[in-house]
Amino acid sequence: MPPAISVTDLSKTYASGFQALTGINLEVKAGEIFALLGPNGAGKTTLISVICGLVNPTSGVVLVDGHDNIRDYRAARARIGLVPQELTNEAFETVWNSVSFSRGLFGKAPDPAHIERVLRSLALWEKRNNRLITLSGGMKRRVLIAKALSHEPTILFLDEPTAGVDVELRREMWEVVRGLRESGVTIILTTHYIEEAEEMADRIGVIQRGEIILVENKQTLMQSLGRKQLTLELLEPLVSLPNALSDYPLTLSDDGQALVYRYDTQQEHTGITGMLEELRKAGIQFKDLHTEQSSLEDIFVNLVRENP
Amino acid sequence: MNLRGMAAIYRSEMARTRRTLLQSIVSPVLSTSLYFVVFGSAIGSRITEVAGISYGAFIVPGLIMLMLLTQSVSNASFGIFFPRFSGSIYELLSAPVSYMEIVMGYVGAAASKSILLGLIILGTAGLFVPLQIAHPFWMLLFLVLTAFTFSLLGFIIGIWAEGFDRLQLVPLLVITPLTFLGGTFYSIDMLPPFWQGVTLLNPVVYLVSGFRWSFYGVGDVSLAASLAVVVAFLAVSLAVVSWIFRSGYRLKP
Ligand SMILES: Nc1ncnc2c1ncn2[C@@H]1O[C@H](COP(=O)(O)OP(=O)(O)OP(=O)(O)O)[C@@H](O)[C@H]1O
Ligand SMILES: [Mg+2]
């Protein structure tokens, strides 16, 4: 089975002369949830737009399920559902008509039962006869999702699907997305809610200044780049670290009240036992201790900071 | 061919007409009726005949053409401008439809509206003046060709325009003057020779003339010339549209 999306040496320079994408190489496997992370202006939307045929690439090749997205655009596009970042729609249409229109546009025979399922799954069924202009922002976004799902795509792009959607609905949408993945749909999403990527994604790609700086399995990423830290609250403040402890990756807080010990979760030997032993020998007592594990957010922030 | 996609565009455009029925149909019919009252009855009572036809009847083809041109351009330009403006065009551009299918959907709908309108105006005119249509087939051919050609022109304007003001500009500054100076309300041999020559540079003259010929068997220029101009106009518009989609002009950054 070919990858759902395969991007080779893709570059995009806008007419303004601004280079938004530089030599992107990326493969998204069929059936996975791929989260594309990156700060504002990194090029996420541009990359998605090129793949979906909304922006002309300057160079490079995009294959969708093995079909060139320019030469064989019908086959490529028929597979893709796109939920754009911007809220855009035909203000005066009803929800039902707008979603049915999308299905027709993609060349699918009318299937009211399918449209009904989609609308129900997105909690839009009650609103089916409302004009789009009368919907709230979160509802409009869900209409865009419904439009993308109306033609039963096998690859779904979600460009910040949950921006402006309340917490409860966000959870419901995650359920919808998981359900889609169960049914074999490949999902590529961008988000600024890292918890979303952490919760949903199988693999994560980080893009910065138009370059992919990392693509990794989420689990591996969180393990390999994830760090834990142990904080010991001291009974008596220390002025400096005792010499016996200098071999350990320990730092003393500025006020001397706490010791922070950083370690990799992957390591066989974390060195905690030895460190505690040395503390005891040195007569350093502590009143409390706690550990913290870095989240995907910390990893992301560090990555972006390390690649200026 | 994605016929369903094309049909979806066509249907949604026709649905837009139904939503805006008043301005799409009623207002052109009303203004045409006013033309008949003013030009046909008030002025026409002083000008008895042009080329052997009563003045009221003489202006019918020109009036229909006037409405056909302005309505085709404004309907088609608005049809494609609005999705560009609102951003919902993303869906069109990411769908498995060819540019010809998109054009056929939009232009077909705009042209259908204009043709319908032309026939309604024809019917309205029949209430004011006795009509005869010498060559019904040619009449319909001119009606359809003109509606398509100018809807295509409107489509191009809708893609070119970057704001509502520009959208209004071309119909106002180009189409309306050309039509009024295109022999709508007069036969060009009523003009001094110099202006006759100038007028022959106006493509609308050929449309009106051909159309009028299909009614009364007389025209300012030959039927072949009329037909040639319409077809040439159509070909140029098609070439421009195909360039727009190939280059992504104003559609794809
Ligand atoms: N049509 C355009 N012409 C010129 N520059 C553009 C155009 N569209 C986007 N850009 C620039 O390309 C860069 C990438 O934009 P893009 O929208 O892809 O970012 P993004 O990663 O989606 O950001 P965000 O998280 O804010 O959505 C930005 O610097 C943007 O200003
Ligand atoms: Mg974006």
pLDDT tens for each residue of B4-37: 999 999 999 998 888 777 777 788 788 888 887 7
Question: Do the beta carbons of residue A200 and residue A46 sit within 8 Å?
Answer: no
The protein residue with its alpha carbon nearest to ligand 1, atom 16, reads A43
Question: Do the beta carbons of residue B141 and residue B61 sit within 8 Å?
Answer: no
**What is the per-residue pLDDT for A224?**
65
**What is the per-residue pLDDT for B91?**
93
Q: Among the residues of chain B, which ranges form H helices?
A: 3-19, 21, 27-35, 55-86, 89-93, 99-128, 136-160, 164-170, 176-180, 193-199, 203-216, 223-247
* Tens-place pLDDT, residues B45-89: 676 677 777 888 888 888 898 889 988 998 899 999 999 998 899
What is the pairing mode between strands A227-234 and A250-252? unpaired
A45 CA to middle of ligand 1, Å?
Answer: 7
Ligand 1, CB within 6 Å, residue ranges:
A 14, 16, 18, 20, 38, 40-46, 85; B 253
Residue B197's pLDDT band (cuts 50, 70, 90)? confident
Question: Do the beta carbons of residue A69 and residue A62 sit within 8 Å?
Answer: yes
Average pLDDT on B187-198 reads: 81
Q: What number of CA atoms fall less than 13 Å from residue A246's CA on the CB side?
A: 4
- What are the angstrom distances between the C-alpha of B240 and each of B40, B96, B111? 38, 22, 18
**What is the per-residue pLDDT for A9?**
96
**What is the per-residue pLDDT for A308?**
61
- What are the per-10-residue average pLDDT scores of chain A (308 residues)? 93 94 94 91 94 94 95 95 86 90 95 95 92 88 93 95 80 88 94 81 91 87 71 85 80 83 73 82 84 70 70
A84 to B87: CB separation less than 8 angstroms, yes or no:
yes
B123 Cβ contact partners less than 8 Å away, ≥ 6 residues apart: none
A104 to B98: CB separation less than 8 angstroms, yes or no:
no
Please name every residue paired with A216 in a beta bridge, in sequence order, or none if there are none.
Answer: A204
B88 to A90: CB separation less than 8 angstroms, yes or no:
yes
Give me the residue from A73, A93, A104 closest to B8, CB to CB.
A104
**What is the per-residue pLDDT for A265?**
66
- What are the angstrom distances between the C-alpha of B20 and each of A88, A117, A259, B16, B100? 21, 31, 73, 6, 26
> Nearest C-alpha of chain B: how many angstroms from A84?
8
**What is the per-residue pLDDT for B169?**
85
* Tens-place pLDDT, residues B90-114: 999 999 999 999 999 999 999 999 9
Q: What number of CA atoms fall less than 13 Å from residue A82's CA on the CB side?
A: 28
**What is the per-residue pLDDT for A279?**
82
Give me the residue from A15, A93, A105 closest to B95, CB to CB.
A105
Residues of B in contact with A78 (CB under 8 A): 96
Question: Do the beta carbons of residue B145 and residue B231 sit within 8 Å?
Answer: yes
Residue B132's pLDDT band (cuts 50, 70, 90)? confident
Domains of chain A: 5-222 (3.40.50.300), 227-306 (3.30.70)
The protein residue with its alpha carbon nearest to ligand 1, atom 4, reads A14
Residues of A in contact with B109 (CB under 8 A): none
Burial class (CB in 10 A: 0-12, 13-18, 19+), A131: middle
pLDDT-above-90 percentage for chain B: 39
Give me the residue from A82, A104, A147 closest to B4, CB to CB.
A104
Residue A25 main-chain phi, psi, to 5 deg: -125, 125
